[in-house]
Amino acid sequence: MEITLKHKIIFFFIALFSTLLLFLYLSTNEKEDQFYKKNTFVSQSNSNWPPAILERNNDTPTENQINTKKTQAIAKAFYESNDLHAFAEMAKMRPEEGGITYAIDAMYHCNLVRTFQDIQADSINYAKSVAALNKLRERCKIFSDKDLSGEEMQKLAKLRRDKKDILLIAKDKFIGISPNNTQAPFSNEKRMQLLNQVAELQDPENFYTYGSTLTEFKNKDGNYGYWVDGQSYFTENKKELFKNAWFYASCEFGNDCTSNAFFLQRSCVIEGKCFDTFDDFFKQGEYGNNSKEYADFISVKDRIINAMKTRDFSTFFPPK
């Protein structure tokens, strides 16, 4: 059976929310010890890391120090690394920059890559898919089974909490957020406060994960969706467009949207849909047959970027 682009989007969000679920599992078991992922140590001799990372910041982060884009250099190193084991060894020594969280992400990513099967000879875009899979495997090849074990994940999760990793502080604020929880009403003021924290932090992964969550509302019919300039986005297609726009907007704030992006490589491997840029992926793949929908998608993306820069999120709140 041919895997469609819709399947690809589904697979992507499965991978994204698998990360979230793993995080929730570890954070709810043994509050001080259990959290979400894993691992190891550091090689300062690697000259490929950006100077911003190698010049160690010795400040101890607190709840009032989760801004100033401290995580972007670590995120950049994660996205650009051709050896994720070496990256994790380095990053775990940088809790003040969110390094332990990104070391965990690297190990989770490599666990996921290990589940990918060899590309079948009759697959769509066979050569490109094989190349993408080989690159993913190459980046993960140094990890041993022990490195990626649940035991090592839990050790690193504990280290992350003990060292007060800056992204753990942020995630503690955002995880468990349920804006539409009828048992604990979530005020617009609280939404605005947390959206401003997402904007201040500007961490690529927190950006699109929690940004889209914090702008979700329930309408008078009890359905969940989004608002843009007073227009409702409550159909399945519109909701998908809105979430995709948050994801694409993250390119402006540090997410890797080059041909080297994990997202594009996994898309190529899983579905055989191989694109060199995010723009090509969305313009040709997702919205290639609907220029009006693509224009709407770009408009929403631009509004998200502007809201993050101006700290004015009113365009995403329901009309009064």
pLDDT, block means (10 residues), the chain with 320 residues: 45 43 35 26 26 32 50 92 96 95 95 95 93 97 95 94 92 68 69 89 85 90 93 96 95 90 94 92 90 96 96 93
Burial code (b: 16+ CB inside 10 Å, e: under 16) for 138-169 equals ebbeebeeebbeeebbbebbbbbbebbbbbbb
Directed axis angle between helix 188-201 and helix 166-174, to 10°?
Answer: 160
What is the per-residue pLDDT for 179?
Answer: 59
Which two three-digit tokens encode residue 285?
């793949």
Length of the chain: 320
**Cα within 13 Å of Cα(216), Cβ side:** 22
> Which two three-digit tokens encode residue 93?
């020594």
Angle at the Cα of 54 (from 152 to 51), degrees rounded to 5? 135
- The CA-based angle 191-161-91, given to 5 degrees, is 95
Question: What CA–CA distance (Å, rounded) separates 122 from 2?
Answer: 11
First-residue to last-residue Cα distance in the chain? 47
* DSSP tag of 318: P
User: How many CB atoms are located within 10 Å of the residue 292 CB?
Assistant: 8
The pTM score is 0.74
Tokens of 234: 């409550």
Residues 175, 286: Cα–Cα separation, whole Å: 29
Token representation of residue 41:
């140590």
CB 282 within 8 A of CB 288: no
Nearest to 67 by CA among 271, 308, 305: 308
How far apart CA 152 and CA 160 sit, in angstroms, is 12
91 CB-near residues (< 8 Å, 6+ apart): 74, 77, 78, 99, 100, 102, 103, 106
Which residues are registered as beta bridge partners of 217?
A: 225
Q: Are 92 and 156 in contact (CB under 8 A)?
A: yes
Tokens read off for 125 = 């875009």
Compute the half-sphere exposure of residue 78: CA atoms within 13 Å on the CB side of its CA. Answer: 31
Read off the amino acid at residue 238.
K
Q: Which one, of 130, 110, 94, lies nearest residue 262 by Cα?
A: 110
Question: What is the model's pLDDT at position 1?
Answer: 40
Closest CA to 4 of 298, 292, 267: 267
CB 202 within 8 A of CB 196: no
**Residue 106 phi, psi dihedral angles, 5° rounding:** -60, -40
